[in-house]
Amino acid sequence: MKILIADDDPVTRGLIHKILHAAGYEVIVVENGRLAAEHLCQPDGPRLALLDWVMPEMDGPSVCSEVRKKREQPYVYMILLTSKESKQDVVAGLQSGADDYLIKPFDHQELKARLRTGQRILGLEDKLVEAREEMRFKATHDPLTGLFNRGIIVELLSRELTRTYRERGSTTILLGDLDHFKQVNDTYGHHVGDEVLRAIAIRLVDAVRSYDFVGRYGGEEFLLVLNNCESNYALERAEMIRSTIANSPVSTRRGPLSVTMSLGVLSSRDWGPRSMEESLRDVDDALYAAKAAGRNCIRVALPKCLAL
């Protein structure tokens, strides 16, 4: 683990460096508080720090305060090295953001023990962050495909439409449904159906830009939100997605399966300001029109004045 030592005394720096290097730490040494803060505030900066209380440019407590203000994740465990022994000084140091302190001159074994305590706390912190991120992912993503779930993709669509209308841009909505998917489940089983859904999800993500959104809207329905996509490109993008799915069979445990998708398309530029619910209703109507037209095709939702 990387550890930063900040001390303006070269003899002290050298001694601590020797102790910690021998203990297996990757040691970074600086001679003032400003350099310490710069290193610790970097996203990939050290997670452990030994800071002398009195240093040029910034003292130890000021470094702690700066790091706590500027670096949110991951957490940095900071120990102040000080000759100050009054309770008032110790409290002031801890209130600045320090996690622990050592009174000079310190015992080498105690120093290493305090650092091991810091490592244990950082390990617990990392596990908590990992658990939080896992919970967040589960709350926002479909467990089978890994795409955004229905609640989140609809929320993202609503936000994007609001932004689009405010900035007078254009958002394209694609609602796709796998054709005859029930037959896949009935003929080959739900495990194969799940394989197909996962494969299609990957193809959809690969077919859009990194800033577009793809979500599982229903059983075999997928909702795609194409940001800053003008209406004259909407049909082209939809056709590219349809052909990407239709032209390459999906590999499954029961062999390759041919799969097609019907799509409804709606461009916000064609309609003007409308609610998210109205937009979903109209793109859903377009999807059903594609189904009625024989499937594996695209239909565009247009206002009556443009459809005529």
Lookup: tokens for 212: 């577009």
Angle of the 87-95 helix axis to the 60-70 helix axis, nearest 10: 30
Q: How far is CA 175 from the centre of its chain?
A: 24
Give the DSSP H/E element, type plus range, for residue 123.
Answer: helix 108-140
- Among 72, 134, 220, 239, the active-site one is 220
Q: Would you tell me how many other CB atoms lie within 10 Å of the CB of residue 257?
A: 17
Strand ranges for 161-218 from DSSP E: 172-178, 213-216
Measure the CA–CA gap between 103 and 130, rounded to whole angstroms.
34
Lookup: tokens for 109: 């074994």
Q: Are 176 and 261 in contact (CB under 8 A)?
A: yes
Q: Let me know if 26 is a catalytic residue.
A: no
Strand ranges for 142-258 from DSSP E: 172-178, 213-216, 221-226, 250-252, 255-257
Active site residues: 220
